[in-house]
Structure 1
Amino acid sequence: MKVKLFFSIVFSLFTMTAFSQVGIGKTTSSATLDVAAIATDASTAEGFIAPRLTGNQLTAKNAQYGTAQNGTMVYVTEVASATTGKTKNIKSIGYYFYDATAESGAGLWIAFADETKEQFYVPTLLLPTDMYSLPDNTYYTAPATNRFTVNLFGLFKEQLGNPKASSNSIASLQTGSNTATDYYYFILYYDTTVYTSVSVTTAGVMTYYLVSGYTPSEKTFMNIMLREK
């Protein structure tokens, strides 16, 4: 009996090593997890189903998600009631992944890309370099020497709401949302020989500093994008 038990353990360990890549519905695997269709005809439904939870159920599990759960995927069946914390962005049904690095390491559930969400470049903006000659005092500030702030969302709304010319006098442009925090903000490019320490808040306010002794060139601009949450 002891001999049989020993061989059973050895065989089990060998099996675990040999099948470190798992195949479901097939004898060989081409990746860590390789799932084969049960049938290719119309007789079965194929695919895999992620864990299904409501937004509030996921909120109740906040403490269970940390660094080790980074990249975890779930399918949310109802929006979350929470307006703060890890599930504050769960505003629609669908797939979400957990980003443990977001919110300064506090973690955040983020929706997978949704083609129905707006995603676009911010219209051309003036980026001042003289704190005494700001384009206006509503969307621009210069709180310190060589430091400037720009209200990206405010300028975006202002430009859409006040076109300088139009092919149709009764047509209008509008944002998908009137709330700055309903968008993510991305600084895709900036001239590093002129601008430095560029950052943007969740409210769409960008801050940048000027490099000492900078010289502007044809590369002195920024590319900025917004994406609806």
Structure 2
Amino acid sequence: MKRKLSVIAVLCCSVLAYSQVGINTQAPQATLDVTAKNTNGTTPEGFIPPRLTGNQVQAADAQYGVNQRGAIIYITAPVTSSSTKTANITSEGYYYFNGSLWQNMGISSAPSLILPNYANNGAGITLTPSNWLNWNYTGTSITLPANSKYIINLTQFLRIGTMPANQSFRITTSFADSNTATFSPSPDLVLAQYSTSSCGPLSIHGELQGKFIINNISSNPKTYYFFAGSANVIGYTDPITNFGGKTYNIDIMYATRVN
């Protein structure tokens, strides 16, 4: 009896020692070895982890602890109101659980760099005393992917000639959700909603540099429209041409993804 038990124990140990799972292979080379079913392009290949929204993951908060360290999921939409464990679920992408909270794996379907859309070949607008106290759509917009956060970096040239000694001009810019309705800064703007630049007495030109953080929490791509106006002017009356586009060599706008 003792000998039989010893043999059974050895057999069980052998199974445990060599137990490996292969998918599409009879000779797995690791604990789990997945081989492509086809390599001729006739079938989609790859491994798809569970796909869940942030809210669905948060509903299972109590199920995740130290024993679930290393769990991997794909988030399809960020959590609406986060808990401690889901605080980092702010965008679509791959996440892993570290035993305390979910961490972004830095693998996102959103592009890392996005360039703007220009109307009228990027001519921008002309600001004059008749419109610069109002908000004006510049013809420039930028479209961000669903469930993504980006930093908008911009530099815009202010062409003024030479500012007289007793005059000055300040312009303000922002992004809105619409290019037709009465201007209102987008609620998706994080922290700063406006960027300004001033041209003081005897200036020969101005340059607006700014950064905006935009968090598109919707489940669809969304376009944001670049506006300029709400100027503070002392004495100056000459037009400022081609503002907000890409007419001048230093006119730049681009968005970089925030992971």
Which fold has the larger relative contact order, with Cα–Cα distance below 8 Å and residues 6 or more apart in sequence? Answer: 2
User: Considering the TM-score relative to the shorter chain, is it more than 0.5?
Assistant: no
Give the alignment's TM-score, normalised by structure 2.
Answer: 0.40
Higher strand share: 2
Q: Which of these two proteins has the greater Rg computed from alpha carbons?
A: 2
